[in-house]
Amino acid sequence: MSGIVLTATRDVALTPEAVFETLGSWLFGASFERLEVGRPLTLTVPFGGAASGFTIFGRIRRIVWGQSIVIEHSQPWRGTVRLRLTPLPIGARVTLSCDVDDAGVGWMVRRTGIPSSAPESARGRRWGLLTTKSGSGAVFALGTENAALLAIDELNAAGAGMENDLVVGDDGTDPAMAAVEAERLIAAGCRVIVAAVISASFTAVQQVAQRHGVLAVHSVLNEGGRPARSVLRLGERPADQLRAALTPLMRETGGSRCYIVGHTYSWSRSAARVARGMLADLGAGVAGEARLPLGHHDYAPVVERIRRSGADLVLSTLVGDDEVRFERSSHELGLRSTATTLSLVLDESTREHIGAEQSAGVWAAMGYFEASPSSVNQAFVARYRARFGAWAPPLSSLSESVYSTILLLERALADDPDATADAWARAVRQVRLETPRGLLTFGDGETYASTIRVAIAGQTGFHLL
């Protein structure tokens, strides 16, 4: 492997054993539920003197207590991080080393604002995947690239005569970065971009794609938008999620006063607007609302406001790391004992990062859960584990949607590989496809019709209702 190795050191006035006992956010921003092999963990790695550094998302692979931790990670690139402790006369030296392969070097170069050259054109069809490898949304995107690679593998194995490959971009949970990365994917020869990003980023992607005559597809949950000929917005809609979950939630808990917590961007505002109408129709009241910018850190004051409001239900439309911080604060401050939360973006990866104990009892409503018992899904999960191993992040609605979207598009593109983006978008709307989340058909011409499943987070995963 070519590439480089990054190292960072920090001397602390603690013994190595004491460092292990108190390891937390004070050391390289470490965040985890429990220091145990197999558990997810995040670290902030200093980079180029930047105060914020960048965040590694991985799993603990090996622990030698008082000496070292080995972390296998998949974001922002795939690699290994080693945390080593060396005793000093007074205290200990903590050394963080990080392998950076060619993909990681390219990612870093682009983060410094230097354009990287496009890879050589593929002989067959080149797919663009825009996902979130960094920023607030990175928590829920861990399995997205894996799911896309699995779909590409299966297309090539089917031997349809055209070789497929994948070029991956990172929006950084930022619309401006999303536009830059969309330009890079198109320059690399991608005529289709599958975007598993927040709505604000997809709006930027859509504008770039339409300017170049490229098909843009939003695969994950979104609020919909104005119809456009070369744009597809798939994924769950807030109205469908709320329609499936609110009635059973109120029936099971007896709750009738709901506090709504969300972000200041479009999807979250749209979901809150729909929720207010549905709650009124169901005879429930809104106890209060809080809207915060993406990347907000301290949710304790918000939880305290919810407690004082007397709410017995909470609707969260927070995404990624914000949802992790909010749910941990809710658990730590005892909100679970007085209110039940329905989260519209709580997927398997986010639940893992919140922690099993801290997320237990939170309701979710998605078109797909990894625990779905269907034979199609069980075979899909088995192929995913065989391809990427036990350390791979869990599948979720967000990652499965990328897999199914690529197969859905291939059905339409195969008939006329040289058609325009508009013609491909029309053809996709005629496709019927059996997928891990069920049979996909286009209901209203703008998104596919699929069943929304309701589940409750437990100690070992989601329990489907």
Q: What is the pLDDT of residue 49?
A: 47
Q: What is the pLDDT of residue 121?
A: 58
User: Which stretch of 40-54, 123-137, 219-233, 403-417 has the lowest confidence by average pLDDT?
Assistant: 40-54
Which residues, other chains included, contact 104 with Cβ-Cβ below 8 Å and sequence gap of 6+? Answer: 3, 76, 77, 79
Q: What is the pLDDT of residue 234?
A: 92
Alpha-carbon distances of 359 from 139, 400, 427, rounded to whole Å: 15, 22, 41
- Quick one: what percent of the chain has pLDDT higher than 70? 94
Find the mean pLDDT for residues 13-40.
79
Position with higher pLDDT, 45 vs 97: 97
- In terms of average pLDDT, the best of 9-23, 142-156, 158-172, 414-428 is 142-156
420-451 pLDDT, tens digit each = 999 999 999 888 899 999 998 887 767 888 88
Position with higher pLDDT, 80 vs 384: 384
Find the mean pLDDT for residues 124-138.
87
Position with higher pLDDT, 110 vs 464: 464
Task: Check whether 50 has a pLDDT greater than 70.
Answer: no
23-32 pLDDT, tens digit each = 765 677 788 8
Task: Check whether 3 has a pLDDT greater than 80.
Answer: no
Q: What is the H or E stretch that residue 51 is in?
A: strand 50-64
- Give the separation between CA 44 and CA 56, rounded to whole angstroms: 6
Find the mean pLDDT for residues 149-159.
92
Task: Check whether 112 has a pLDDT greater than 80.
Answer: no
Q: Helical H runs in 297-390?
A: 300-309, 320-332, 348-354, 356-359, 375-388
Mean pLDDT, the chain, rounded, equals: 89
For residue 115, name the pLDDT band (cuts at 50, 70, 90).
Answer: low
Q: What is the pLDDT of residue 122?
A: 55
351-376 pLDDT, tens digit each = 998 999 999 999 999 999 999 999 99
Q: What is the pLDDT of residue 75?
A: 77
Contact (Cβ atoms closer than 8 angstroms) between residue 106 and residue 168: no
CB half-sphere exposure, 190, CA atoms < 13 A: 28
Q: What is the pLDDT of residue 25?
A: 58
Find the mean pLDDT for residues 126-143.
86
Position with higher pLDDT, 128 vs 43: 128
Q: Give Cα 359 distance to the centre of its chain.
A: 17
Beta bridge partners of 169: 130
End-to-end CA distance of the chain: 47
Contact (Cβ atoms closer than 8 angstroms) between residue 167 and residue 349: no
56-69 pLDDT, tens digit each = 888 888 999 888 99
